[in-house]
Amino acid sequence: MSNRVLPRITIAFPLLVLGCSPVTMAQSKSPSGLQFDVKEVSVLPHVGARFKTMKLIPAGDYENWRMDAGSVVSQQVVSVPKQPDSMWIETLVLVRNNGGNDEKLDFKNPQLQLASGGSIKPWEHLFAGMADYQGLVGVLGLSDKAPGPDANAVHLNVEGTLYCNLKSKQQTWIIMVFQVPKSAKDGKLSISNYPPTALKIPSAR
């Protein structure tokens, strides 16, 4: 089945965060002072249940990500990927500039390097300033109900350069969705050339 591409739109809903503070599950720091905190790694019952980790973002001020001129966020109807003995996981990452200088945080070549070997790119990602959860429910058709065996999904596709300017003590967040083997236990999450963050992958329920 060929993908049906919907009209390209830029999605910009007000950002909604709740006042809760999950513990840091993993952390790494760059020499310049950027601190990467993995706040959540959760197993999704199915791909339609993604992005609920938005509700775990601690209350606070977050800098929006930006895109270069010509970059777009579009929607695309795609077949849900099918891989035997796999599961969907979602990671919530907070990035804070603890250095004394302004930093441009680039989102390039994101990947999850599995301890068992091989690397996986995120199937989808969401970033500060892009949407709130209720807006995504309407746009992507998110649901607690599991899709059928031959289901399609509305997929967010980012084309272009994504970055976030962080002054000292400013922070931002990003969520990434991966499809990994059910046997995966450990991995390293990396973005651009920043130090990777070692994390534990929960077992499939």
pLDDT tens for 97-150 read 999 999 999 999 999 999 988 999 999 999 999 888 999 999 999 988 887 777
* Amino acid at the residue 178: F
DSSP at 7: P
Structure tokens at 45: 């019952």
pLDDT tens for 181-193 read 999 999 999 999 9
Measured CA to CA in angstroms, residue 14 lies from 95, 132, 167 at distances of 20, 6, 22
User: How far apart are the C-alpha atoms of 125 and 152, rounded to whole Å?
Assistant: 18
pLDDT tens for 135-183 read 999 999 998 888 777 788 999 998 888 999 999 999 999 999 999 999 9
pLDDT tens for 63-91 read 999 998 888 888 999 998 888 899 999 99
Question: Are 86 and 41 in contact, with CB atoms under 8 Å apart?
Answer: no
Counting every residue, how long is the chain?
205
